[in-house]
Structure 1
Amino acid sequence: MRKRRLPPLNALKGFEAAARHLSFTRAAEELHLTQGAISRQVKELEVELGQDLFVRHTRRIELTAEGEQFYRVVEGVFDELERAALRLTRRRSDPAITISALPTIATVWLMPRLHLLVARHPEIEARIVSSIEAADLLAHDADIAIRVGRLPGRRYERNQPRIELPMVTRWDGVHADELFADRLVPVCAPTLLTGDVREAADLLAYPLIHTTTRRYAWPDWLRANGARYEGESDPHLQFGHFFMALDAARQGRGIALVPDILLAQDEGARGLCLPYSSEIASAGEYYLLIHESRLEDPRVQIFRSWILDEAVELRKHNLTSLTGRAP
């Protein structure tokens, strides 16, 4: 194994602080050193690298082009070290694991089942937070994420409905377990239907409920089913998340397009029917996302095993019994 050729750490710390403040004096105050000590550390680093990193004026300093380039690298490394230290500190002091889940998945599927995990593993403390933002699993905001989207390099058919939500900020070191496919189905209150729905285009005779986080859902789904949507969406029928659209459909306000997994349990399907059935999957799936550095944590292993079993049970349910009638 080769020996690393790294500049002295103290010199790097002095340089980073001086470059950030553009001041030897303020860097010295931050690091509790003298201005002369910071100046010597920077000079030591310049000799080591064979490059001037600062232009020294009478009352100020500025980075050279080489210094600016080197600072960007050092800043990124220090930021990464800081995040890693924060993660370790948090895990030592916080017994809970944090799961960042999509709002609808958290509300309709995960939270109603969490008591099953606690009953089986009372030693596990799970904290659920909801978000549609790309998860940064290298930061300290979540141990596990549940997102919907496309895996890098995975190919999909051109006519599959789009999913434009990014799952993670970066994929390096991220382990992904597929939970279930994303199949959008139309649902409504049985009282809304006034005639037969024989094809997807027949749905256009009714108000359509839109989910703003999946703005292309209706146009893409209708096109994939041989219909065309060219109308303007009613601003009163636009909702932020699928669970909101589901409630609006239950109230008889229109037809919502939602993931079929939300209906694979009695509570989610209550008061709804499927006016038209389609087996077209979206261009993406729901995934359990964990950074490889967390895979050996016993708490993460327990949660991962449990949630994968729950996903298997969910996939066993059949929605054909809902077609055309209320459950």
Structure 2
Amino acid sequence: MPLPRTDIAEALRSSEAEAPDGGRVWLPLNALRAFEAVGQRLSFTGAASALHISQSALSRHVGRLEEYLGCRLLERRAQGMSLTAAGAALLPVVADSFDRIEETLKSLRREPGHGGRVLKVHMPPTFLHIAGLSLLAEFRRAFPGVPIDVSSSNGVGLPAGRGVDLAVVFDRPHLGDAIRDPLWMVSQTPACSPELAARAEGLDLVAFLRANELLHVKLEGEPFGTLWGTYMRHRGLDLAVSRGLAFETEALAVQCAVAGGGVTLVDVDMFAAELAGGRLVTPFADATSPSGFGYYLAVHPDDMADPAVALFRSWVIQRYAQVPSPAA
């Protein structure tokens, strides 16, 4: 039975004392759930609607959590609401914890005829299209008893709030909570159609890029032209990157380049087949540069004991150790 609202603050304060049997202290789950809902939406109105409670009750939950912690979690101003440093630190931990509880409960709740837990795997769209579909098909042939739920979104790093077991991520190298196994580091070079490349005769790289449309790949949370900007800096080129066409995925940018729509930066490993077949050409030798990004297989340490997660992770690592080319 939930605690009466008048007893929540007292229970929060008393929870600081360690449980007498050495177990866990009481956790203010309702207050934490209220804070998560407000923090994700930065709106008491939206959070109250989502939780089907009144705004006043929601405000009391958050206020008593702040009282318990001794710090503000939300800044309430006339122009809107924002997270404090403490709120920004607490929110992802709370959201991830609730996601994991929810996913575990779902995995334990068996429906009639359900043979086992579903492994949730996330992949970026281009990786999924070029390499992931064949990868998943191979895994399913080897282990047909493991059902897989595949999701996809275009962005940098781990997908937020998706409750996945494993994720192939496109990201810069960095340390974090997740265990990341590198699949390959991305090297890129300017590429275009054979017809467009023919116009490069007599031009240097700078003149060629200046004379043609730049094709970009949009990355969530990154400014326009991030990949071209990194390439220009690495090559020491003084060219503006705030022009051209931007696409949701690298696969679409490559399709546009093959059709003669401009010059794209192509992942030489991902699109090795297009380059080998001549549908996409690189008009300048020795123009390949590291992008600063790579593909990683990411998993949370808490999930490593899950047999299905461990099986998929070890299988993918072994496959990429044997076959360096991602599209092979």
TM-score by structure 2 length?
0.64
Deviates more, 1:213-222 or 1:114-123: 213-222
| Residue 10 to residue 272, structure 1, CA distance change in 2 (3 Å) | closer
Deviation of residue 183 (structure 1)? 1.0
**Contact 2:225/2:242 (CA < 8 Å) preserved in 1?**
no
Work out the percentage of aligned pairs sharing the same amino acid: 20
- Equivalent in 125, 131, 134 of residue 153 of structure 2: 131
- Whole-Å Cα distance in 2 between the matches of residues 312 and 18 of structure 1? 45
| Residue 275 to residue 90, structure 1, CA distance change in 2 (3 Å) | farther
**Contact 1:175/1:289 (CA < 8 Å) preserved in 2?**
yes
Structure label with greater radius of gyration: 1
Residue 247 (structure 2) aligns with? 239
| Residue 135 to residue 275, structure 1, CA distance change in 2 (3 Å) | same
1:107-118 aligned within 5 A: 107-118=129-140
1:1-327 aligned within 5 A: 5-6=18-19, 12=28, 66-67=67-68, 69=70, 82-93=98-109, 95-133=117-155, 134-135=157-158, 141-152=163-174, 171-172=176-177, 174-193=178-197, 194-196=199-201, 199-204=204-209, 205-213=211-219, 215-230=225-240, 232-234=242-244, 237-265=245-273, 271-276=279-284, 277-315=286-324
User: Unaligned regions of 5+ residues in structure 1, if any?
Assistant: 21-29, 31-53, 55-61, 154-170, 319-327
- Whole-Å Cα distance in 2 between the matches of residues 13 and 232 of structure 1? 47
1:247 alignment partner AA: Q
Q: Tell me the secondary structure at the aligned position of residue 178 of structure 1.
A: strand
Deviation of residue 176 (structure 1)? 0.8
Q: Tell me the secondary structure at the aligned position of residue 296 of structure 2.
A: strand
Deviates more, 1:221-230 or 1:102-111: 221-230
| Residue 197 to residue 91, structure 1, CA distance change in 2 (3 Å) | farther
1:311 alignment partner AA: Y
- Whole-Å Cα distance in 2 between the matches of residues 14 and 258 of structure 1? 49
**Contact 1:200/1:222 (CA < 8 Å) preserved in 2?**
no
**Contact 2:320/2:326 (CA < 8 Å) preserved in 1?**
no
Q: Deviations over 1:84-114 (max 9, x none)?
A: 3212112234622111111211122101332
Q: Deviations over 1:93-151 (max 9, x none)?
A: 462211111121112210133211111111122222112354368x6620011112233
| Residue 15 to residue 310, structure 1, CA distance change in 2 (3 Å) | closer
**Contact 2:131/2:326 (CA < 8 Å) preserved in 1?**
no
1:207 alignment partner AA: E
- Whole-Å Cα distance in 1 between the matches of residues 72 and 310 of structure 2? 39
User: Unaligned regions of 5+ residues in structure 2, if any?
Assistant: 1-16, 38-51, 53-59, 74-85, 110-115
